[in-house]
């Protein structure tokens, strides 16, 4: 379960995929397969997949214990060919972040 906490050392990757409505569901399934594989790896915390209502975007929100963990897990997923399956279905704009502020009820 994802928990968003500021300044705790967690690394968040937010990957926004541009796709089209005919490939959006396949991209979501590919990202879900990748998340299932990552969930067995040490240092992985969570993955959340968001679908745009217009069918043109899919956003993958991932959390890792550290930047090193994020790189290690990403490298393993790339070596397994899982990342390539997703990038074949949409153009990705990846980003790595540290949460510095949250507010909520």
Q: What is the pLDDT of residues 57-80, one digit of tens each?
A: 999 999 999 999 999 999 999 999
Burial class (CB in 10 A: 0-12, 13-18, 19+), 38: buried
Q: How many domains does the chain have?
A: 1
CATH code assigned at 90: 3.30.70.100
pTM for the predicted model, two decimal places: 0.92
Cβ of 82: how many Cβ atoms within 10 Å?
18
Residue 38 CB partners (closer than 8 Å, separation 6+)? 44, 47, 62, 73, 77
**Domain containing residue 22:** 11-97
Domain for residue 40, yes or no? yes
| Contact (Cβ atoms closer than 8 angstroms) between residue 1 and residue 88 | no
Residues with pLDDT less than 70, the chain: none
Closest by alpha carbon to 56, among 14, 20, 17?
A: 20
**pLDDT at res. 2:** 83
């Amino acid at each position: 379960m994802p928990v968003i906490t500021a300044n705790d050392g967690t690394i968040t990757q937010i990957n926004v995929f541009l796709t089209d409505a005919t490939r959006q569901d396949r991209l979501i399934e590919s990202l879900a397969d990748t998340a299932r594989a990552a969930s067995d790896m040490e240092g992985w915390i969570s993955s959340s997949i968001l679908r745009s209502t217009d069918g043109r975007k899919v956003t993958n929100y991932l959390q890792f214990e550290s930047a090193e963990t994020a790189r290690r897990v990403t490298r393993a997923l790339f070596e397994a060919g899982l990342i390539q399956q997703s990038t074949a279905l949409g153009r990705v704009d990846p980003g790595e972040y540290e949460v510095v502020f949250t507010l909520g009820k």
